[in-house]
Amino acid sequence: MEYTMNIKLLENECWWGGCSDDGIKAPFCENSEISRNLDPNNTYNQASPLLVSNKGRYIWGESAYTYKIEKDELVITGIKEKPQIFEGGSNLRETYLLASQRFFPTSKVAPPKEFFDGIQYNSWIELMYNQNQEGIINYAKKIKEEGYPTKGVFMIDCGWNDYYGKFEFSTSKFTDPKAMVDELHAMGYKVMLWTCPFISADTAEFRYAWSKGYLIMNKWGLPSIKQWWDGFSSVVDITNPEVAEWYYQQHKYLMDKYGIDGFKLDAGDGHFYSDDDVIYAKTDSNGQSEAWAKFGLRFKYNEYRACWKAAGLELVHRLRDKNHSWTDNGVAALVPCQLAQGILGYAYTCPDMIGGGQFTDFLEDQDKLDQELFVRYAQCAALMPMTQFSISPWRVLDEYHNGLCRDISWVRMEYIEDILALTEHARKTGEPVVRYMEYVFPNQGFEKVIDQFMLGDNILVAPVMEKGKITREIKFPEGNWKSRSGEIIKGGQTLTVDAPLDVLPIYRKVND
């Protein structure tokens, strides 16, 4: 049975939420072109059954629903349960906080500060499937040699083991993984490994998990073999507490033996599951994705890309793989989609890997990348809660553009105290670290501004996200705004400011 609500939009009413991937289309106002089915969440990124209005209304559903705008109506269709509409607050911020406190209150725990007070480095685009000890150590050493910040997190990505479900380093690629991890620790990094809920079929680990009843089964009583981006694999039934504990112990083995600090918990997307899966819990595809997200609470150092109803928790989230492009699936999506994560209750966020995380963009002609784009990517990410490099800029860029990436990394370090204070505030309140202009300055005409953002309430950041641009049009709120060069801008106006390739426009609100 379906449950449909036709909600008449109020005057100047707009809505935000649903899924972070729709950030590029937000907000959803009269005549907006938006139509989304969240059952299952097939966006490869975070989603929640939440929509929030700037006119004191919000919608929540215990299960997924569809939403779309038809002229001056928001049409909500509950697929399995009836969503509810609530009233409260007078603007986006007040209404978001009411929804947060009621349906996804903060756990009062934040991820460790190492995620925020340095730089993250990830080996994926640099080494792709050829993860190996020599390559990882050489990469880490070059970070310091090239003058980049070395404090933070180092992630070893997919390809460190021989196949999925084998919780041991590949001996052909890693001669002494414990020594490697020790060396990375000595360099100042926490070390994380890529993992997923899949087990390669027809392996010893698969046969063991099948014999123990640890796998998702199909209706014919056989292990369910799922197609995902790396082929066909079985999946652990993480909704079963016994299975979750067993799977945790496999990960803990790596922590105990090699000193691994945590895990990048990939896959687990709702669309990799099926509603007719035979599993322990009575739940659907999104529910299994939710269970995979909550599995990560066992690890202080975690990172997720795909989540369902995991807001308010001490989980680290990143945007899905973005292209090495200026398009809405590249650098232009970083600010809008990062903002969308925040309004869904995912406060501890990281944009995609600098330069792009879609590995197919880097298979050929790495010496012909768009160097301007790479720098603007780095600037766009610099004042997000977290920032992450993968492909090494010193290898694929010339000296000038590599220097600009290095410089903006150190600019980030100037704002670490602000970022740490805001993550602590998020821990206490559930508020986003990165905020919509409309969130901080309600009912002042900022509802459709999604290409600049507020870091907290007082720092305005306006990255350049168009090729060839050396100026930036910025809409300033009321008040006085001080640039990094010391210039004071009188707010309440839209100005075009200089933004050559070596400049990220940043302004701090100051007293009159």
Separation between Cα atoms, residue 384 and residue 381, nearest integer Å: 5
| Architecture of the domain defined by 3-103 | Sandwich (2.60)
Pick the CATH number of 113-196+238-421 from 3.40.720.10, 3.10.420.10, 3.20.20.80, 2.40.100.10: 3.20.20.80
pLDDT digits (tens, 9 = 90+) for 16-26: 999 999 999 99
- The CATH fold assigned to 434-510 is Immunoglobulin-like (2.60.40)
For residue 388, report the phi and psi dihedrals to the nearest 5 degrees. -140, 125
Could you tell me if 349 and 311 are in contact, meaning their C-beta atoms sit under 8 angstroms apart?
A: no
Q: What is the pLDDT of residue 200?
A: 99
Give residue 365's pLDDT. 83
Residue 512 has pLDDT above 80, yes or no: no
Instruction: Supply the pLDDT for residue 409.
Output: 98
Look at residue 423 in the predicted model and tell me its pLDDT. 99
**Mean pLDDT across the stretch 170-197?**
99
Q: State pLDDT tens for residues 64-120.
A: 999 999 999 999 999 899 999 999 999 999 999 999 999 999 999 999 999 999 999
8 A C-beta contact, residue 243 and residue 249:
no
Query: Is a pLDDT exceeding 80 seen at residue 206?
Result: yes
Identify the bridge partners of residue 156 per DSSP, sorted by sequence position: 193
Structure confidence by residue, pLDDT tens digits, 483-493? 999 999 999 99
Per-residue pLDDT tens over the stretch 232-246? 999 999 999 999 999
Residue 501 CA to residue 468 CA, distance in Å, equals 9
Q: Is the fold of 3-103 the same as that of 434-510?
A: yes
> What is the DSSP secondary-structure string of 21-68?
GGGGG-SB-TT---EEE-SS--SSSEEEEEEEETTSEEEE-SS-EEEE
Per-residue pLDDT tens digits for 454-471: 999 999 999 999 999 999
Q: Which of 49-58, 206-215, 356-365, 399-408 has the lowest mean pLDDT?
A: 356-365
Which residues 6+ apart lie within 8 Å of 137 measured at CB?
180, 183, 184
Cβ-contact 80, 64 below 8 angstroms: yes
Residues near 245 by Cβ (< 8 Å), separated by ≥ 6? Answer: none
Whole-model pTM over 0.75: yes
User: Could you tell me the pLDDT band of residue 174, with boundaries at 50, 70 and 90?
Assistant: very high
Q: Is residue 507 very low, low, confident or very high in pLDDT (cuts 50, 70, 90)?
A: very high
Q: Where are the domains of the chain?
A: 3-103, 113-196+238-421, 434-510
The total number of residues shown for the chain amounts to 512
DSSP 387: -
pLDDT of residue 6: 98
pLDDT tens column, 325-374 = 999 999 999 999 999 999 999 999 999 999 999 999 999 888 889 999 99
